[in-house]
Amino acid sequence: MRVAVLGCGNVGAALVGILDARSEAITTQSGARIELVGVAVGDLSKARPAGVPTRLLTTDTRSLVTDPAVDIVVELIGGLEPAGELVRTALEHGKSVVTANKALLASPDGVALRSLARDQGVDLLYEAAVAGAIPLVRALRQSLTGERIERVMGIVNGTTNYILTKMAEDGAGYDEVLADAQALGLAERDPTADVGGHDAAAKAAILAGVAFGYDVAGDDVFCEGITALGSSDAAVAARFGYVLKLLAIVERSGDDQLSVRVHPAMVPVSHPLAGVRDAFNAVFIEGEAAGELMLYGQGAGGLPTASAVTGDLIDATRNLLAGTTAPTPDRRPGRLRPLGEVRSAFTVSLEVDDSPGVLAQVAAVFGNHRISIRTMEQEETGEGAQLVFLTHQAREADMQGTLRELGGLRPVRRVGSVVRIVGEDRRA
Amino acid sequence: MRVAVLGCGNVGAALVGILDARSEAITTQSGARIELVGVAVGDLSKARPAGVPTRLLTTDTRSLVTDPAVDIVVELIGGLEPAGELVRTALEHGKSVVTANKALLASPDGVALRSLARDQGVDLLYEAAVAGAIPLVRALRQSLTGERIERVMGIVNGTTNYILTKMAEDGAGYDEVLADAQALGLAERDPTADVGGHDAAAKAAILAGVAFGYDVAGDDVFCEGITALGSSDAAVAARFGYVLKLLAIVERSGDDQLSVRVHPAMVPVSHPLAGVRDAFNAVFIEGEAAGELMLYGQGAGGLPTASAVTGDLIDATRNLLAGTTAPTPDRRPGRLRPLGEVRSAFTVSLEVDDSPGVLAQVAAVFGNHRISIRTMEQEETGEGAQLVFLTHQAREADMQGTLRELGGLRPVRRVGSVVRIVGEDRRA
């Protein structure tokens, strides 16, 4: 089986190493010897890690994806273009494609590429695009195909989980922890894609396709990052028995609608997702028959990502030999539920004047919007008072209306954090 | 695709329900309509849950497994015989087989049946045999085929995990919690298979095959249950930052040897396995490239087990249509490492006379056997003293020698619990 690899960064170099070191086991498992016939790079003169055979390097990427002798193309360039055009060309030339490119898969082009692969009768596999080495996509594609999945919730961004873990455990502030993470190489110099939730949104879009058959683009996903969170939010979480996590949530929501969203969430400490620390990823799946499942592991890094790519490469090889393709989700282009219609419980922090009657005024606003209060705590801060409310489940639109009205209330000095509470409805 | 189901208990009835309710999705995913052609039962007159079609029930099991019109046999009878003979006959007649029968798979017959399936070029799939609905076997067979797996450690018995969770969280004693578990239907009236560790040992043997390609029988697995544990052990665990878990451990251990064992373990509270509560199962996998992975979910119950069987059934159907079979582990019949050669850290509890010089005597015994002490705590109990030692890593045989010598020491009134410490060597 002749394989071309596009891109030779961390993941590409790790993949070349695994294919070499594990050659015998991979041949046994896939049923054919996997021969690396070319590695496309942008710059031949750049130094490569030991083990990457120089004779295979080429800058002529287009020849690799059109070469009739190539059976499988592994795309590890990342980003939308030229990766998208190269994947399309490879599929058009009847090659199976393995990719780790979440941005591409979550773009409108990603939907078209999945259709193209189906029409061409070849594999487009992307285990590495969501949650790195965790065998999530294969579990959803294969193990759970008979399952009616109700909800998928994941910690799918390691950078933000690292930041939130340090904020919770060390009591440090957001800016300080971010700077540490950048120094450790766990956050990019421009961290926007991670801390703004956009990376998680792309993964949520891909999960909507794999678990529910919906064609969703990353840009269609409601996305709220962690930049507005501070150490007081971590303290509120701890006080009420929660842990702050950035979650990608995909769930059925009445009448064949799907809610796909990314936002910080208060997760009960007893919930399996609450124990997922540092840069680890985990995805919690709720199915009608299977009940609760959680898959946990390393979401990023050269070796873990290359491990997932290797699994896909073996699958693609076996499928080519058998003349078949991996199962693809049954496509059900349905509607996305507008965020305003989604129901959540919330924590709401307010800074208010410390004077009689304020609580009654504030409570009346919640009541006017049909939001029921579960718990309230008041703390005098010296200059005023901080109120923290935990609500019962309420429509998002009603909460937004409440917040607007609270913001205009004279004794309310500041509407602080508003965080959705998630995961309190476990059956088990 | 014509399917015969042998056995119609909890799992069988749940499977029939899923095949009916999810018929459309299953057909789309498997590529063929799955037609149930017979359900073998022992007693036609017994009442069956609604939804099990009476016209399909038969007591003529042998006809089903030899009928040329049957493509796939699902064995849900359990136990060694007649299940083993029926599976063998089905395989000999060229049928693919899906089973949830851990006892059969972990028996010497299980090895022969796996060989037979390979020789016949048909599938023998058993996702449901280990950790219920958790897509573990498929992950090991497929996603991680390119991976060099170093260790697999699992909480694979829900009954014992429930008992240990209650002992830790409610401070209750073993007998009391077991009685509660029996009343709740979480433990059998004769709980030996669970609390003695034998159920977990069968699963460890199966994991040794799937993850490492070793042919191991359940009877070859060192097996220590939880019956000797008391609330003082849970207290020792809590005092030193551990949680008590019954673990099935399969790990590489030098020179192509494999250590396969089941025993209670002190697991650090920060370890992902420590947070697995109640009757849930979880399997922690350490791979060279993938790093740490954990798969968590419901390990038993009719619906979760039937969910796993359904996934296998879809796989078997797709493979039959494509003329292929699921990847089987590369078989490497290697040696099992004798327990005496395995290295662990330990907690050791001793009841001793409360008199000067006792500690020196006891410490000398550890030293004579080259066991290094990490921590010691002494508590006066009124009549004497309780000593708790935490050791550094030591050979099991040296620890056994130490315990024998300590037992013969005059001021040692009783050698209490000795529990291995596991999971302190995490890289991440």
**Which tens digit of pLDDT belongs to each residue from B379-427?**
888 889 999 999 999 999 999 999 999 999 999 999 999 999 999 987 6
Q: For chain B, give the mean pLDDT.
A: 93
What is the reported pLDDT for A427? Answer: 61
Residue of B130, B143, B320 for testing the chain A interface, max A β-carbons within 10 Å: B143
B82 vs B62: CA distance, rounded Å: 10
Q: Which two tokens stand for residue B275?
A: 């947070």
Q: Has residue A389 got a pLDDT over 70? A: yes
Q: Tell me which residue in B143, B145, B306 faces A127 most closely, judged by beta carbons.
A: B143
Return the CATH number of the domain spanning residue range A339-421: 3.30.70.260
Q: For chain A, give the mean pLDDT.
A: 93
Domain ranges of chain B: 2-133+302-322, 147-298, 339-421
Q: Say whether B133 and A293 touch across the interface (CB within 8 A).
A: yes
Q: Which two tokens stand for residue A117?
A: 């692969």
Instruction: State the complex-level ipTM.
Output: 0.91
Query: Residue B96's beta-bridge partner residues?
Result: B72
Q: Say whether A25 and B310 touch across the interface (CB within 8 A).
A: no
Q: Say whether B314 and A145 touch across the interface (CB within 8 A).
A: yes
Query: Residue B263's beta-bridge partner residues?
Result: B247
Per-state percent for chain A, helix, strand, coil, to nearest 5: 40, 25, 35
B144 shares contact with chain A (CB less than 8 Å):
yes
Instruction: Give me the CATH topology for the region A137-298.
Output: Dihydrodipicolinate Reductase; domain 2 (3.30.360)
A277 shares contact with chain B (CB less than 8 Å):
yes
- Is residue B31 very low, low, confident or very high in pLDDT (cuts 50, 70, 90)? confident
**Which tens digit of pLDDT belongs to each residue from A115-131?**
999 999 999 999 999 99
A183 vs B179: CA distance, rounded Å: 54
B38 vs A386: CA distance, rounded Å: 67
3-state secondary structure of A238: helix
**Which tens digit of pLDDT belongs to each residue from A251-300?**
998 778 999 999 999 999 999 999 999 999 999 999 999 999 999 999 98
Q: Tell me which residue in A275, A289, A290 faces B272 most closely, judged by beta carbons.
A: A275
Closest by CA position to A230, among listed A400, A349, A402, A382: A349
- Alpha helix locations (H) across B22-123? 23-30, 61-66, 83-92, 102-105, 108-120
**Which tens digit of pLDDT belongs to each residue from A86-101?**
999 999 999 999 999 9
Residue A367, C-beta contacts closer than 8 angstroms, at least 6 positions apart: none
Closest-CA distance, A116 to chain B, in angstroms, reads: 18
Rounded to 5 degrees, φ, ψ at A50 are -55, 145
Closest by CA position to B187, among listed B159, B158, B225: B159
Q: What value does the CA radius of gyration of chain B take, rounded to a whole number of Å?
A: 24
Task: To the nearest 10°, report the CA torsion of B80, B85, B88, B92.
Answer: 180
Average pLDDT for B95-123: 95
- Is residue A50 very low, low, confident or very high in pLDDT (cuts 50, 70, 90)? confident
3-state secondary structure of A39: strand
Q: Has residue B80 got a pLDDT over 90? A: yes
Spell out which residues of chain A touch residue B306, defining contact as CB-CB under 8 Å. 289
Residue A85, C-beta contacts closer than 8 angstroms, at least 6 positions apart: none
User: Concatenated DSSP letters for A308-332?
Assistant: HHHHHHHHHHHHHHHT-----PPP-
Q: Which two tokens stand for residue A71?
A: 């059976």
A64-69's contacts with Cβ under 8 Å and 24+ in sequence apart are: A64/A4, A64/A6, A64/A37, A64/A38, A64/A40, A65/A4, A65/A6, A65/A89, A65/A90, A65/A93, A65/A95, A66/A93, A67/A4, A67/A37, A67/A38, A68/A93, A69/A2, A69/A37
**Which tens digit of pLDDT belongs to each residue from B269-317?**
999 999 999 999 999 999 999 999 999 999 989 999 999 999 999 999 9
Catalytic site residue B203?
yes
A74 vs A158: CA distance, rounded Å: 24
Q: Say whether B138 and A134 touch across the interface (CB within 8 A).
A: no
Chain A residue with CA closest to B147: the answer is: A307
State the CATH architecture for B147-298.
2-Layer Sandwich (3.30)
**CB distance A258 to A329 below 8 Å:** no
State yes or no: cis peptide before A53, omega within 30 of 0. Answer: no
**Which tens digit of pLDDT belongs to each residue from B319-336?**
999 888 988 876 776 789
Handedness of CA B52, B57, B62, B67 (dihedral sign): negative
Chain A residue with CA closest to B139: the answer is: A135
In CATH terms, the superfamily for domain A2-133+302-322 is NAD(P)-binding Rossmann-like Domain (3.40.50.720)
A408 shares contact with chain B (CB less than 8 Å):
no
Q: For the whole model, what pTM was predicted?
A: 0.94
What is the reported pLDDT for B427? Answer: 61
